[in-house]
Amino acid sequence: MSKGKLLVIDDEERLRKLLARILQLEDFEVLEAANAKDGLRKLDHEVVDVVISDVKLPDANGIELTKTIKASYPAIEIIVLTAYGTINDGVTAIKNGAFDYITKGDDNEKIIPLVNKAMDKAILQRRVLELESKLNNKFGFDRIIGTSPAITAAIKLAQRVATTDTTVMILGETGTGKEVFAEAIHQASPRSNKPFVAINCSAFSKELLESELFGHKAGAFTGAVKDKKGLFEEANGGTIFLDELGELDHDLQAKLLRVLESQQFIKLGDTKTTKVNVRILAATNRNLQDEVAKEHFRSDLFYRLSVFQIMLPAIRDRKQDIGPIAKSFVQYFAAKVNKQITGFTDDFLHKLEVYNWPGNVRELKNIIERAVILCDTHELDASLLPYEFDSAPAKSNGNLSAFDLSSVEKLHIQRVLNHTQSNRAEAARLLNIGIATLYRKLKEYGLE
Ligand SMILES: Nc1ncnc2c1ncn2[C@@H]1O[C@H](COP(=O)(O)OP(=O)(O)OP(=O)(O)O)[C@@H](O)[C@H]1O
């Protein structure tokens, strides 16, 4: 098996062939090029790990070529061949990103160990880049499905702010993808190789949340036996995502404001300040402006956090995305439970599209998971949807006002009848009313 792929660029044919032969004997796969142009063309077509290039080429200078190759293929390592007495060329090439240089004719015994080292580094680099790009696909913007104008605008906005250090406030109903966006912003930022730490502020009591966020010294409170690092320290250099920020109590709001202004805080039970470098992303599904008006939320913190707001649309307001999102969940869950399910019927999709989706994408995900588990065929159909999907929102409300209590009753009866496929006895049983009462109501609402 080949130990890796090399490209030798040299116009001196005899020397090039000799070098290629030596390297092939060491189990490397070797490509050859007589000039820079041919070399670059080969790099375009093949995945090469290491390039060995002469400094003097007919159509380019090997030192400049190093820069060009590194710019397009950062994982490739380059060794330059310099003529005797031109050490300066070698040094400049290293400055331009070359791995090392060899003096032609002089260093034959050096070449194999050097190529081995360059090869190890190049292969490791390629692996890292591959993993990074996989990670980007898993946590980056690519993972956000949707082409509707509303979600496209939100993605564009998030991509623009991602590369900065600006605090971002992500707004949207529950399940609209606020955390997905926060992760994507982090992944697209210069902080991507540092930690991304997320915390749901509504999940902790006040004291516990303070210790989670800022850490504590041993003895700070009963049960604090050891010093503990807080999440701000864990996220140092990276990003912290504060979900459900509207739940933060007044003292913690003040502490957070201080972090935003000076990147400093005091741990519980500590006397000195701790300094961090953390980017803050926050989210809430509450109307924070209302909370400010009611004096539940500090206005200075609100304005500091709201420098850049991104509003995520509910899926009922971007119906065209429901199909593609549902499809991707079908693929995901079918693979997970090892079923051959290719998609869903038109009726299934129609029911998804007319539903109100109070839980947004999270609810859609759960509904698809359930349907995939229940499915015995190759296609999801409407019978796999739970009962609330049985009827579209009232089209046939007759003359009843939408606010009228009886309009709700009428709609509910319609839904239950759809569910029982017009079996009235079964409907009466589910509704927990007598069959005579059901007939009376059907007559009253014109549903006979
Ligand atoms: N556009 C999208 N494409 C694919 N999956 C998505 C999308 N938006 C959200 N999801 C998925 O939906 C689920 C809910 O998303 P997320 O947790 O980011 O929502 P949230 O707005 O933070 O919710 P909450 O307000 O309840 O914290 C996750 O499983 C996420 O992977």
* In CATH, 5-136 is 3.10.180.10: no
Asked whether the predicted pLDDT for residue 208 surpasses 50, the reply is: yes
5-136 and 390-448 share one fold:
no
CATH tag for 315-389 (out of 3.40.50.1360, 1.20.1440.230, 1.10.8.60, 3.40.50.1100): 1.10.8.60
The pLDDT, as a whole number, for residue 287 is: 83
| Contact present, 273 and 235 (Cβ < 8 Å) | no
Q: Whose CA is nearest to atom 29 of ligand 1?
A: 362
Q: Chain-wide mean pLDDT for the chain?
A: 88
Over the stretch 215-242, which tens digit does the pLDDT of each residue have? Answer: 988 887 777 788 889 999 999 999 999 9
Over the stretch 398-434, which tens digit does the pLDDT of each residue have? Answer: 444 555 677 678 878 888 887 777 888 888 888 888 8
DSSP state letter for 203: G
Asked whether the predicted pLDDT for residue 146 surpasses 70, the reply is: yes
b/e map 127-138, b = 16+ CB within 10 Å: eeeeeeeeebee
Q: Residue 230: CB within 6 Å of ligand 1?
A: no
Q: Residue 174: CB within 6 Å of ligand 1?
A: yes
Q: Which residues pair with 379 in a beta bridge?
A: 343
Over the stretch 278-336, which tens digit does the pLDDT of each residue have? Answer: 999 999 988 888 889 988 899 999 999 988 999 999 999 999 999 999 999 999 999 98
Q: Whose CA is nearest to atom 12 of ligand 1?
A: 362
CA atoms within 13 A on the CB side of 386: 11
Q: Residue 175: CB within 6 Å of ligand 1?
A: yes
Q: Whose CA is nearest to atom 16 of ligand 1?
A: 177
Mean pLDDT calculated for residue range 188-210 = 89
* In CATH, 390-448 is 1.10.10.60: yes
Over the stretch 343-395, which tens digit does the pLDDT of each residue have? Answer: 999 999 999 999 999 899 999 999 999 999 999 999 999 999 988 887 655 44
| Contact present, 276 and 263 (Cβ < 8 Å) | yes
Q: Which residues pair with 332 in a beta bridge?
A: none
Alpha-helix residue ranges (DSSP H) falling in 215-286:
231-234, 250-262
CATH number for the segment(s) 150-311: 3.40.50.300
ipTM of the complex: 0.96
Contacts of 277 (CB under 8 A, 6+ apart): 236, 237, 263
Q: What percent of the chain has pLDDT over 70?
A: 95
| Contact present, 315 and 176 (Cβ < 8 Å) | yes
> What is the residue whose two structure tokens read 């680099």?
125
Spell out the domain ranges in the chain.
5-136, 150-311, 315-389, 390-448
